[in-house]
Structure 1
Amino acid sequence: MKYQGIMTALVTPMDENGLVDKQGFANLIQDQLNNNIHSLLVLGGTGEYTALNMEQRKIAIDVAISEVNGKVPVVVGLLSPGLGDNIELGKYAKQAGADSVMAVTPFYVSPTKEGFIQYYEVLDKALDMPIILYNIPYKTGINMTNDVVEKIVGKIPNVVGMKVCSDNMGDVIELIQSVGDKISVLCGEDYRAVSSFITGAPGAITASSNLIPNVWVKIYDLVQQKEYDEAVELHKKFFPLMKALYREGNPGPLKAALNMIGLPVSSVSVPLLDPSLQVVEELKSKLDELIVPVR
């Protein structure tokens, strides 16, 4: 399986007790499907993986698999620092019908290059299902270098993709050149997606597509049609909104914006906080300016 197109990193609607709002989550997913999104990521960072206990994570998986009903691929995030929770949740996701898991690099400890490789080998042996690697060094404090990725891809056939969050486009391009024929190198930054597409990335995992899935699908379609200037201009048009969504940490402003357009997803869980009044006003202004419809 190779991933392409736009994969939305879904927010997780919660009730006042911090439990998954099943109906709210189903409504959000249905909105994504109605806007022809290509695939969905459940329980990524945008989905507040760390705020949910194991039971609630499993509930989120069940809701997503049921609501999607095979229409698009569903990927489940494994964002714990060690193998135990990731293997347990990965096995549950596989049994529930998830298409792949996305496993973050092990963090807090400082693995060697060989440690990275063996970590993913053990995870693969335990799950035996498609795996998307996830490298986000500015959150984990750990960077999995391209040479390590090449070795992992060469050793583990179940590795089908990698979400890359990097400020260095040179590294991204080198990764596409070295393993792009074997796995899907997926851009993990909303603001770099178009440039990544043009340099060879087959897809992106985006947070703002919770709010504007139709725009992201259009951007991707324009790139596929080689209408690069139009794709860049459309991205530039919505860039101020995307920037506002990250103003005070993701997904607080994003959840606020979704609430504004009529997709209730509640607020974030501590230590994340609701956005300030200044950011709320900025979001309202950008949404009004761009005429983002209530769906």
Structure 2
Amino acid sequence: MSQPDIITALPVAFDSDGTLNLDGTREIFRKAAGSGVQGGLVLGTTGEFVSLGFEERGQIVQVAVEELAGIRCIIHVGAASLFEVLRLIEQARAAGVTEIAVLTPHYLPVTDAEMVRFYTAVSEASDGLDVYVYVFRARTGNFITADVMATISRLPNIVGAKVSDEPLSRLDEYRAVVPDDFIIYTGSDRDIARVGDHGAQGVVSGIASTLPKPFTDITAKIGAGETDLAEAQKAVDDAVDTVRGDMARMKAALRMEGVHAGWPRMALEEPDAEGLAELERVVRQYDTFAPVE
């Protein structure tokens, strides 16, 4: 099995009043760039993109291009309307981005035919860019069937998909209908050691933005051909079970690591004393405990 990619989904820093903190965001991105992962996904769910305006997104894109220069930088340009998506594609292109992700239309239900029309328009607007389809039915209310994915995956410029909150069997279904060189990433952090068995090339992991070591350790073992992954998987499970994919917990852990990660802008509950103790334990175990003042 080839070594899976780790694309870390990156949080964005906000002050306690919700103001965008670009300096803190820069620290988050810089940590990721030096953590051993293959790339960063910026302005996705973990980046609270739905809470950000167009100009703010442009500022974050510029920081990402600067700080992630040594690894892959994938900018999510999804929005509620195709009109806004096309603006965001141009914004990313102007900043020098070469890889983008585009969430399915959301909030209102769309037909399969409209889904194809949407991604056809994205494809036509994305010359010079590699586009990843972003499937997240649990958050968007819309889904891409295998038949629709078969069509979309053959559009120009569309090179892969990020599939969140779906079983591994969904990856099998997509792999069976897409071109051989089509890249599939799962959003299920825990499954990093299993994705290769289901035709996928890696994971997009928000938890790796906070605790990259369990993920880089297990992928290194896979790349070296090791088959006894039980202990490495336990570490991944520990990180996943403790951070829980929750942005408030991610940022609390990052603050414990000396990163000025701030707080969520969206309505997310902060970890209580017990949660903070759990986070401190995993930070001490898998990173460096150096809390910001």
TM-score by length of 1: 0.90
Runs of 4+ deviating beyond 4 Å: none
Residues of 2 paired with 1:110 and 1:291: CA distance? 42
Of 254, 271, 274, the match for 2:270: 274
TM-score by length of 2: 0.90
TM superposition shift of 1:266: 0.5
Call closer, same or farther: CA 1:73–1:287 in 2, change over 3 Å: closer
The answer to whether 1:254 aligns with 2:250 is: yes
TM superposition shift of 1:291: 4.7
Aligned positions of 1:24-43 closer than 5 A: 24-43=24-43
The AA in structure 1 aligned to 2:42 is V
Aligned positions of 1:123-272 closer than 5 A: 123-128=122-127, 129-154=129-154, 156-179=155-178, 181-230=180-229, 232-246=230-244, 250-272=246-268
Residues of 2 paired with 1:176 and 1:18: CA distance? 41
The AA in structure 2 aligned to 1:292 is D
Of 262, 276, 279, the match for 1:283: 279
Higher mean displacement: 170-179 or 96-105: 170-179
TM superposition shift of 1:251: 0.8
Q: Count the aligned residue pairs.
A: 287
The AA in structure 2 aligned to 1:31 is K
- The question of whether the paired residues in 2 share the 8 Å contact of 1:165 and 1:187 is answered with yes
1:94-152 Cα offsets, whole Å, 9 max, x none, are 11011211101111221111111100011222232221001111111211111110111
Residues of 2 paired with 1:263 and 1:44: CA distance? 20
In the alignment, which residue of structure 1 is the partner of 2:48? 48
Higher mean displacement: 250-259 or 177-186: 177-186
Residues of 1 paired with 2:262 and 2:163: CA distance? 29
Work out the percentage of aligned pairs sharing the same amino acid. Answer: 24
TM superposition shift of 1:64: 0.9
1:37-64 Cα offsets, whole Å, 9 max, x none, are 2111110100111121111111100111
Task: Give the number of the structure whose residues are more often helix, by fraction.
Answer: 1
In the alignment, which residue of structure 1 is the partner of 2:106? 107
Residues of 1 paired with 2:97 and 2:122: CA distance? 16
Indicate the SS of the match to 1:194. Answer: coil
Q: List alignment gaps of at least 5 residues for structure 2.
A: none
Call closer, same or farther: CA 1:167–1:126 in 2, change over 3 Å: closer
Residues of 2 paired with 1:285 and 1:294: CA distance? 9
TM superposition shift of 1:157: 2.2
